[in-house]
Amino acid sequence: MEAKHTLDRRSFLGIAAASALAATSVGLSGCTGLSAGDQTQPAGSEPSKRSWEQTPDPIPSDQIKETLDCDVVVIGAGIAGLVCAHSAAMNGAETVLIEKMDTFSARGHDNGAVGCAHQKDLGLSFDTARMQRDWLQLTGCRTNVSLLNTWLNHSAEPMDYYIERMAAEGVTDIATNKGSNMDSDNVCIREYPVSIDFGATQVTEDGEGIQHRLLRFIETWAKDEGADIRYSTKAEQLIRNEEGPVTGVVASTADGYIQINAAKGVVLATGDISGNDEMMQEFAPLVASCENRLYTPFGGNTGDGINMACWVGGALQKTTAAAMALPSTKASGGPLASDGVLGWLAVNKHGERYFAENSGGPSICFSTMQQPESAGYSIFDNDYATKLLSHAPDGANRNGIEYLGDLYGVNEGYEGLEDWMTKGIEEKVFFKADTLEDLARQIEADGDAFLKTVDEYNGLCESGTDTQFGKPSNYLTTVETPPFYASKIKVAVLVVPFGVNVDSHSRVCDGDDKPIEGLYAIGNVQGNFFTDSYPMIFSGISHGRGMTFGWLVGKALASDTLV
């Protein structure tokens, strides 16, 4: 990669008028895919345009302080981008990765894969046809199933590779989930054992997140293969001449603009939209009102890839945004990262029951977001330990207890719950009262309605049949033995996958599904994979598809093939 111009120390100017780059930077106005809200305007007024609809003037050539030539440019340094850069470089492509933040982005802990060697060693097997059917049912057949199939059929390859590489670095404590309720007849709470954690706990003894450690190693390996990784370098505009291929990107640094020409392709790996209020209001209005957005890094995930793709003729994804949101007492101001629901009776501020409480995380979230103050309360009594065992006698699907074990030592028999409860009360995320009337007062619920709800619910428990929401009978446990407890249910938004229209090869397409040569999208900016909500049936699938498509797209670009 030859540097053709030397950077000077001048502060770069803002985007100016069109010049010599007018024919090459930012070719076509696009995003003709998903409808973006009501466009009705007062008579005689011009329709307002959103950022993805406002193609900026090209950056003048005389402001370009450095030009690089390479094979592959990757924009964004999350798991998808880093794996793509590593894969492209290790397969012989001259690779540049740019990231606007000052380091890579690592979040969460689990990475979904199907059929890797570690899972086989544990005796795990997968019915991928059934998994596919479950996905189609959950998404209403509104996603591009070929993208799911790529993950189902090819995720083992990069996972096996990285498990072996991490083992060589001394990281051998690989963990996987157990697959809670995998055989449940309710697809909404079914979970397959696909997640892989590169560590037995979420944080190492040195205090580093295990996902951060994984990406730190991948970053090192990518550099060892020759990848040029540049942080604090923000992609501004893609380069496309008329309807030709995308041939590069113009990026800004503290020292000025640089142009990176890519002979084989540009890969968008710019993350989700949870840091962009305009896009959240437009594409995810329900969760846009949630005050608890836990995405990281703050300022990083602002829909940059969507804008740049649209400015050169790309279209928005055909499906709606899918929020990954968790019911969380942490969102209520407390330290606990569990959901605080655990299958108990749940009521809103009106004192009314509002959903089947054994539902999966997305269902809990979207039900709760529609309640007054976007909050609910989980109600239970002093026999909680015994009744929890009734909910899950085999120890499975404990809806948060496993994670509580990491925090407070709650074991398989739920010993330690009392200490957890005491801490929750001290932190004011749990409430305790000797009477139901006092509990209603503490949670500021309508007292009469609350008492009526509890009485009706106890009747359902005695009958063994939930005629209101169809909750399974083992979750129908009464609220009758004082003292009584409540835990506040609030929602925290982690990530909102929404991206650009792509085909089965992960090529960015226009509104007519015509691929834009030289432009790819992976990770959470890759559209058409999720819709409406983020199903928990395949835990770790967001990281897993980022790893899988990063691996496959990087290798394909290096070898001039398609995924």
Residue among 422, 334, 315, 341 nearest 36 (CA): 315
Q: How many CB atoms lie within 10 A of CB 159?
A: 26
Residue 492: the pLDDT is 82
Q: Which structure tokens are listed for 549?
A: 């498509």
Taking the C-alpha atoms of residue 95 and residue 246, their distance in angstroms, rounded to an integer, is: 16
CB 118 within 8 Å of CB 226? no
Which H or E run contains 230?
A: strand 228-230
Contacts of 170 (CB under 8 A, 6+ apart): none
| CA-CA-CA-CA dihedral for 202, 205, 208, 213, to nearest 10 | -80
- Can you tell me the distance from the alpha carbon of 404 to that of 414, in angstroms, rounded to the nearest whole number? 10
Question: What's at 39, amino acid-wise?
Answer: Q
Residue 87's alpha-carbon distances to 69, 239, 268, in angstroms, are 19, 23, 15
* Helices and strands per DSSP (H, E), number in the chain: 16, 17
Burial class (CB in 10 A: 0-12, 13-18, 19+), 411: exposed
- Longest C-alpha distance within the chain, in Å? 79
Q: What is the pLDDT of residues 500-548, one digit of tens each?
A: 999 999 999 999 999 999 999 999 999 999 998 888 889 899 999 999 9
Q: How far is CA 66 from CA 25, 61, 62, 185, 304, in A?
A: 16, 10, 10, 59, 22
Name the nearest CA neighbour of 135 among 501, 506, 538, 526: 538
What pLDDT, on a 0 to 100 scale, did the predictor assign at position 330? 52
Predicted pLDDT at 22: 33
In the chain, where are the structural domains located?
Answer: 326-493
For the residues of 290-316, what is the DSSP string, one character each? -S-B--SSTTT-SSHHHHHHHHTT--B
Residue labelled with tokens 């129908």: 476
Interatomic CA distance for residues 226 and 483, integer angstroms: 64
In this structure, which CATH number among 3.40.190.10, 3.40.50.1970, 3.40.50.720, 3.90.700.10 belongs to the domain 326-493?
3.90.700.10
10-residue mean pLDDT profile of the chain (563 residues): values are 35 28 38 38 58 95 96 98 98 98 94 97 94 92 95 98 98 83 76 93 93 98 98 98 96 98 98 94 89 79 97 95 75 42 85 90 84 90 78 48 40 58 77 96 96 98 96 92 89 91 98 98 97 86 97 98 95
Condensed to tens digits (0 to 9), the pLDDT of residues 119-166 reads: 999 999 999 999 999 999 989 899 999 999 999 999 999 999 999 999
Confidence at residue 180, expressed as pLDDT on a 0 to 100 scale? 61
**Residues 455-461: contacts with CB under 8 Å, at least 24 apart:** 457/345, 457/353
**By C-alpha distance, which of 121, 97, 114, 12 is closest to 62?**
12
- Distance of alpha carbon 343 from alpha carbon 392, whole angstroms: 10
Distance from C-alpha of 161 to C-alpha of 54, rounded to nearest angstrom? 42
Closest CA to 305 of 99, 72, 111: 99
- Please name every residue paired with 258 in a beta bridge, in sequence order, or none if there are none: 66, 251
Q: Which of 193, 510, 486, 463 is CA-nearest to residue 345?
A: 486
pTM for the predicted model, two decimal places: 0.84
Residue 42 confidence (pLDDT): 41
Which pLDDT belongs to residue 329?
54
Contact status, residue 65 vs residue 8, Cβ threshold 8 Å:
yes
Structure confidence at residue 359 (pLDDT): 81
Whole-angstrom distance, CA of residue 18 vs CA of residue 25: 10
